[in-house]
Structure 1
Amino acid sequence: MVEVKRWFLVLLTVVLVNCGLMASTNAANLVVKEDLGKYFEGFTTGTFVMYDEANDQYIVVNEPQSNQRLSPCSTFKIYNSLIGLETGVLDQEDVYTLFKWNGTQYTFPTWNHDQTLASATRDSVVWYFQELASRVGAKRMQAGLDKLEYGNRDISGGLTTFWLRSSLQISAREQVDLLYRLYSGKLPVSPQNVEIVKKNITLSENDYMRFMGKTGSGFQDDKWILGWFVGCVEKQGNRYFFATNIQAPDGAIGGKAREITKLILKDLQVL
């Protein structure tokens, strides 16, 4: 009986030591940089998350907010595109097929003409992606979100609106982790489709760096209350995946989130 107790204590000690090592490793891989919070002045709240792949390290501003799920707004267009390609609604060899504009006059002139996947992604054309979601259908859209393990996977807010400040929600940390899995071939999707999506969100590119990203903006009562910017920097053999969101009674838009992100990335010497 004494021998059994002794081995139990040894086993318990090993387990506790291993748990402690795991905890310290996780802590070592997360760096909270609250000094970068200065870039969020003027907003009610906001967060920045970046995963440095080569160093296996997260850099976070406002860690509690980084885990708060919010509507993805137009950042979901990355995955709406991917699901459209995966389901065959958009053909890999015919991705420039036009979706015809129905003549509705929108506030943004760039929306008021026929669209390709590339132009609709670049100009964040909501009607194009609503039409795409309709063609995909609820059953395949839900299956796509489940396959990607996207946020809360909830499309109950309506097939053409669930990502627009409605039922679908995702956190900044989840956005970063999903982008990492997308770029690293860890999702059950076609690599060719991933390359099409990456090309469409490329903002700038040169011999040593490629900067990719997608904004998202949410409004309520004619006020912009939520802004997103998510993406990746490929630079000198490394990849940096990032997500920023901001909230305010007004003025929180994707463009502002993009500006903040670029300032932080420059501060971190990524850009």
Structure 2
Amino acid sequence: MNKKNNIGLIFIILLIGFLLIGCNGNQTTAEEKPELEQYFLEANGTFVLFDLNQNTYIRYNPIRSAERFLPASTFKIINSLIGLETGVIPDENYVIQWDGTPYDVPSWNQDHTLKTAIRNSVIWYYQELARRVGKEQMQESINAIDYGNRDLSGSIDTFWLEGGLRISADEQVEILKRLYANQLPFSEKTMEIVKEILVLEKTETYQLSGKTGSVQRVMPHTGWFVGYLETNGNVYFFATNYETTDQNGISNGETARNITKTILQRMELIP
């Protein structure tokens, strides 16, 4: 083989090498973290995190992260999107009047806007919102989003609390990724409003957005916390859920939130 052919062969080998490196750089990777079990010693649970810059998933208990559960109040994210997009509510400041029914949660016993309703997880507000949207429009929107199992069996105002709707932690993360990137089938205005009302904490170093959920009406009682963390020029999407033997179940969502924040601190993503 002459010198010219050798140079050509070397060039081809280098080119293939660079192409392979480029392809590998774009691949999504996944890592299992069994050591996170210490945060789920009292309950069967799962944690999923997607690192946007690294294009990497981190999971504890990946079998459970693929299992579907009732979304409970995490569905308020989707309910808000659909309510805004259909024009049932014009903006985050739209007031629905409290009908006077007394609730055990004092903050529910008053008029609410979309913004205050999601902050206080006011079930009655979102039940009324769902009734105004109607089952046909709700189903059409759920199909367009490809949300979980798409099953809206049960009442229009309880299907996410005790009806047929189910979604996995993995699917929750994918929905959040699409919301953040404005890739859901809604207007940019609608998605920006919902992203704004999801903000829970805003500091000089990070912004945490998300929604808790507590499955209380059916077994298993499940706690959810789903959302995303923006910090150091990166975004981390997450979903935590776990089962509890607590027959009340009211605090499940807050417990999931606490577990999530502890894990994020362990990963040195928040102080």
TM-score by length of 2: 0.86
- Indicate how the Cα distance of structure 1 residues 224 and 127 shifts in structure 2: closer, same or farther if over 3 A, else same: farther
Question: Does the CA contact (< 8 Å) of 2:200 and 2:210 recur in 1?
Answer: yes
Question: Does the CA contact (< 8 Å) of 1:99 and 1:128 recur in 2?
Answer: yes
Counterpart in the other structure of 1:83: 82
SS of 1:228's equivalent in the other structure is strand
Alignment of 1:103-122 (within 5 A): 103-122=100-119
- Give a deviation string over 1:178-197, Cα, whole Å, max 9, x none: 10011112222111111111
Residue 231, structure 1, aligned to residue 252, structure 2:
no
**What code does the residue aligned with 2:38 have?**
K
Counterpart in the other structure of 1:62: 61
Higher mean C-alpha deviation, range 53-62 or range 198-207: 198-207
Offset at 1:224? 8.2
Aligned residue among 184, 194, 197 for 2:194: 197
Offset at 1:122? 0.5
Counterpart in the other structure of 2:6: none
- Indicate how the Cα distance of structure 1 residues 200 and 224 shifts in structure 2: closer, same or farther if over 3 A, else same: farther
Question: Does the CA contact (< 8 Å) of 2:46 and 2:65 recur in 1?
Answer: yes
Counterpart in the other structure of 1:14: none
Distance 1:158 1:74 in 2: 16
Aligned residue among 130, 134, 137 for 1:133: 130
Distance 1:99 1:255 in 2: 26
Distance 1:176 1:167 in 2: 20
SS of 1:214's equivalent in the other structure is strand
Counterpart in the other structure of 2:213: 216
- Give a deviation string over 1:116-149, Cα, whole Å, max 9, x none: 0011001100000000000001111011111111
Question: Does the CA contact (< 8 Å) of 1:75 and 1:214 recur in 2?
Answer: yes
Question: Does the CA contact (< 8 Å) of 1:224 and 1:253 recur in 2?
Answer: no
Offset at 1:230? 0.2
Distance 1:31 1:224 in 2: 28
Residue 186, structure 1, aligned to residue 183, structure 2:
yes
Question: Does the CA contact (< 8 Å) of 1:217 and 1:224 recur in 2?
Answer: no
Question: Does the CA contact (< 8 Å) of 1:30 and 1:58 recur in 2?
Answer: yes
Distance 1:208 1:87 in 2: 36
Distance 2:106 2:253 in 1: 18
Question: Does the CA contact (< 8 Å) of 2:159 and 2:165 recur in 1?
Answer: yes
**What code does the residue aligned with 2:90 have?**
D
Counterpart in the other structure of 1:33: 33
Counterpart in the other structure of 1:266: 265
Higher mean C-alpha deviation, range 106-115 or range 192-201: 192-201
Offset at 1:38? 0.5
Counterpart in the other structure of 1:156: 153
SS of 1:204's equivalent in the other structure is strand
SS of 1:144's equivalent in the other structure is helix
Offset at 1:199? 1.4
Runs ≥4 residues deviating over 6 A: none
- Give a deviation string over 1:14-39, Cα, whole Å, max 9, x none: xxxx9xx99xx55xx11000101110
Offset at 1:215? 0.3
Distance 2:162 2:257 in 1: 19
Distance 2:220 2:118 in 1: 20
Question: Does the CA contact (< 8 Å) of 1:71 and 1:170 recur in 2?
Answer: yes
Distance 1:182 1:236 in 2: 20
Aligned residue pairs: how many? 244
TM-score by length of 1: 0.86
Distance 1:224 1:174 in 2: 19
Distance 1:249 1:182 in 2: 33
Offset at 1:97? 2.2
Distance 1:188 1:202 in 2: 21
Higher mean C-alpha deviation, range 231-240 or range 47-56: 231-240
Give percent identity, aligned residues only: 47
